[in-house]
Amino acid sequence: MGRPNPESEPEQDVELYTSPWVSGTRAAAYFGPISSELFLPDDEVEDRTAAWTKAERELLESLRDKARVLGANAVVGLEVTLDPFAHAPEGEATGLRLHAVGTAAKLEPLF
pLDDT tens for each residue of 51-109: 888 889 999 999 999 999 999 999 999 999 988 888 887 777 888 889 999 999 999 99
84 belongs to a structural domain:
yes
The predicted-structure confidence for 6-28, as pLDDT tens digits, reads as follows 444 455 799 999 999 999 999 99
CB environment 10-44: b (16+ within 10 A), e (fewer): eeeebbebeeeeeeebebeeebeebebebbbeeee
Domain extent for 20: 15-109
The predicted-structure confidence for 19-65, as pLDDT tens digits, reads as follows 999 999 999 999 999 999 999 888 877 777 788 888 899 999 999 99
Please tell me the predicted confidence (pLDDT) of residue 58: 95
| More confident position, 36 or 4 | 36
> Which residue type, as a one-letter code, is found at position 101?
V
6 belongs to a structural domain:
no
Please tell me the predicted confidence (pLDDT) of residue 11: 59
43 belongs to a structural domain:
yes
Instruction: Name the pLDDT band for 3 (thresholds 50, 70, 90).
Output: very low
CATH of the domain at 54: 3.30.110.70
DSSP symbols for 35-86: EEEEEEEGGG-S-HHHHHHHHHHHHHHHHHHHHHHHT-SEEEEEEEEEEEEE
67 belongs to a structural domain:
yes
Please tell me the predicted confidence (pLDDT) of residue 33: 98
Please tell me the predicted confidence (pLDDT) of residue 84: 82
> What domain count does the chain have?
1
* pTM summary value: 0.81
